[in-house]
Amino acid sequence: MSRRERPYLFYSATRALCSTCLEVVDAKELIEDGKVFLWKRCMKHGVQRVLLSDDVDYFRLCREVYLKKPEQPDHYNTGVNYGCPYDCGICPDHEQHGCVSVLEITDNCNLRCPTCFAHSGPDRSTHRSLATIESMLDLIVRNEGEPDVVQVSGGEPTMHPHFFEVLDACRRRPIHHLMVNTNGIRIAREDGFAERLASYEPGFEIYLQLDGVDDVAHQVLRGAKLFEIKSRALARLEALNLSTTLVVTLRRDLNEDSIGAIIDFARSYRCVRGVTFQPVYDEGRNEGFDPAVHRLTLSEVRRRIYEQSPTFTPADIIPVPCHPDSVAMAYAVRGAGDDFARLSPLTRYMPADVLIEGGRNTIIYEGDPALLENMRARIYETFSTAHGPEGASKALGELMCCLPRIETLPDLSYDRVFRVIIMQFLDRHSMDLRSVRKTCVHIAHRDGKRMIPFDTYNLLYREPEQQEQLVTLRARARP
């Protein structure tokens, strides 16, 4: 007699959130038809099945190879009272320090995008006071010591009436790399604005929202034809060679086929240090989004990158060890001089064991001398074989995954680096309580007391009504 079989491989058991009521539920990870699904059962809302990955080999690489001992923050800010994700944070059960610390300084924005996890817009006029911002910055420094990256965000941070005083307050602290997360409108429209931003270099970068190389995706995601204004902002940044990362929100059936064109567009600007692709994260305002139709996973974005941009191969887009499920990276070096648009990928020369055993488990690799030495040797080899004796003298001063630090070396400065990042946040559909513990993007709460993982902040901790719901969820978790 043959036994009945289920049509999948049972990979593991985990805990997740019901997409409807946000209560913690039991879940399984299942492999079926070359895909990985999160299967969860809520006693009230039934079974839910969510696609996690369409690339089983890559999924297993993240889960079984790119493992490192978790590096911790200097402080925990909350105790363990109700269980994850109701104790944020950072509570002692979290498994990664904040590689990126986000400082939100306003709810106001000069756009009202149909897709905005922060619910921002012209109708919201609340700005954090400078005193509150100082306490949020102190919190970041208390947790991180010398924060690798602080990202000033909002809302639209440039709308804060004391925006440059906020940048000054950041500069008074030991922050290695400071970024401004912006839609670029003030840069495009106001003479002298980009120049004033450039005065914060080095260790300063613009994180510029751009959803395509025409108006189609901007109209849907941002509610306006913005490509011309983004181009004007970029022209000003290019004139100053002010380090810029382009940040692209991707939605299935909208701009997933524009990835190659966006990379080509990005490489044509000398000031652009790379592109970060973010599949739509279904929290906050997300008009017209149907999770059954529009969700995109990290593995799907990864495949589209190497299909649409043949410069990169699968071997170039690798998991980032601090949070491999959610972050992938590819590094390339730009050509010298007028040849700056030519990209030579490097990541394929970084064996997993070098990254994993290299020492420091952080988003910034330059702090690890052993890893750096190894990479120098590899890059020396690469250039000596591929680009002749002139290239053989090149050395890479530092390598980072998600976000950069600037160090000028005699013959390979930061403006030769070009990186492609995929950053996938966990929303109510994909929230896996195993994975969320490794989130390394932490938001400073305005109370100046808590650093909260980006993924859970937008789900449970941002708005007053979410905090009311959290009280109920906590009561159910620990009656």
Question: Is residue 372 close enough to count as binding ligand SF4 by CB under 6 A?
Answer: no
Question: Is residue 88 close enough to count as binding ligand SF4 by CB under 6 A?
Answer: yes
Question: Is residue 102 close enough to count as binding ligand SF4 by CB under 6 A?
Answer: no
Could you tell me which stretch among 90-98, 286-294, 335-343, 385-393 binds ligand SF4 (CB under 6 A)?
Answer: 90-98
In the complex, the smallest distance separating the C-beta of residue 163 from ligand SF4, rounded to whole angstroms, is 14
In the complex, the smallest distance separating the C-beta of residue 242 from ligand SF4, rounded to whole angstroms, is 19
Question: Is residue 156 close enough to count as binding ligand SF4 by CB under 6 A?
Answer: yes
Q: What is the DSSP string of 71-125?
A: P--S---S--SS-TTTT-BS-TT-----SEEEEE-BSB-S---SEETT--BTT--
Could you tell me which stretch among 117-125, 130-138, 199-207, 404-412 binds ligand SF4 (CB under 6 A)?
Answer: 117-125
Question: Is residue 89 close enough to count as binding ligand SF4 by CB under 6 A?
Answer: yes
Q: Checking DSSP bridges between strand 244-250 and strand 100-104, what pairing results, if any?
A: unpaired
Which residues does 211 contact at the CB level (< 8 Å), separation at least 6?
217, 218, 221, 222, 248, 249, 255
Binding mask 9-38 for ligand SF4 (x = CB under 6 A): ------------------------------
Is the backbone peptide bond immediately before 89 cis, with ω within 30 degrees of 0?
yes
| Sole binder of ligand SF4 in the list 22, 30, 91, 254 (CB under 6 A) | 91
Helix H or strand E segment including 16: strand 9-17
Collapsed DSSP state (helix, strand, coil) of residue 408: coil
Question: Is residue 116 close enough to count as binding ligand SF4 by CB under 6 A?
Answer: yes
Collapsed DSSP state (helix, strand, coil) of residue 417: strand
In the complex, the smallest distance separating the C-beta of residue 412 from ligand SF4, rounded to whole angstroms, is 34
For residue 320, which amino acid is it?
A: V
Collapsed DSSP state (helix, strand, coil) of residue 167: helix
**CB count, 10 Å around CB of 117?**
21
Could you tell me which stretch among 12-20, 89-97, 322-330, 419-427 binds ligand SF4 (CB under 6 A)?
Answer: 89-97
Restricted to residues 196-225, the positions that interact with ligand SF4 (CB under 6 A) are 222
- In the bound state, the residue with its beta carbon closest to ligand SF4 is 89
In the complex, the smallest distance separating the C-beta of residue 172 from ligand SF4, rounded to whole angstroms, is 26
Question: Is residue 230 close enough to count as binding ligand SF4 by CB under 6 A?
Answer: no
Q: Checking DSSP bridges between strand 417-423 and strand 272-279, what pairing results, if any?
A: parallel
Residue with Cβ nearer ligand SF4 (330 or 451): 451
* Residues in binding contact with ligand SF4, number by CB under 6 A: 26
How far does Cα 300 stand from its chain's mean position? 16
Question: Is residue 118 close enough to count as binding ligand SF4 by CB under 6 A?
Answer: yes
Place of tokens 């602290």: 173
Binding mask 407-446 for ligand SF4 (x = CB under 6 A): -----------------------------xx---------
Of 430, 432, 458, 431, nearest in space to 445 by CA:
458
Rounded Cα gap, residues 91 and 335, in angstroms: 45
In the complex, the smallest distance separating the C-beta of residue 8 from ligand SF4, rounded to whole angstroms, is 28
Angle, alpha carbons 25-301-7 (nearest 5°): 50
| Sole binder of ligand SF4 in the list 453, 454, 457, 458 (CB under 6 A) | 453
Contact between 62 and 324 under an 8 Å Cβ cutoff? The reply is yes
Helix H or strand E segment including 441: strand 441-444
**Inter-helix orientation angle 163-171/130-144, to 10°:** 30
Binding mask 164-183 for ligand SF4 (x = CB under 6 A): -------------------x
What are the tokens at 467? Answer: 């905090």
Residues engaged in binding ligand SF4 (CB under 6 A): 84-85, 87-91, 93-94, 109, 111-113, 116, 118, 120-121, 154-156, 183, 222, 436-437, 453, 456
